Amino acid sequence: MAMHILKSDDGETIERTDAAIFEGGQVWGRALTGAASGQLAVQVVQFGPGARAGWHRHTSDQVLYVVSGIGKVGDRAGEHVVSAGDCAVIPAGEDHWHGAHDTGSPMAHLAIMAAGSQTTVLES
Q: What is the pLDDT of residues 45-72, one digit of tens each?
A: 999 999 999 999 999 999 999 999 999 9
Residue 69's pLDDT is what? 97
Higher pLDDT, 19 or 101: 19
Residue 123's pLDDT is what? 85
Report whether pLDDT(20) > 80. yes
For residues 124 and 55, is the Cβ–Cβ distance under 8 A? yes
The overall average pLDDT reported for the chain is: 94
In the chain, domain spans: 14-121
Please report which confidence band the pLDDT of residue 106 belongs to, taking 50, 70 and 90 as the band edges.
very high
Classify domain 14-121 by CATH architecture.
Sandwich (2.60)
For residues 22 and 53, is the Cβ–Cβ distance under 8 A? yes
- Tell me how far apart the alpha carbons of residues 54 and 58 are, in angstroms, rounded to a whole number: 13
Report whether pLDDT(21) > 80. yes
Residue 1's pLDDT is what? 67
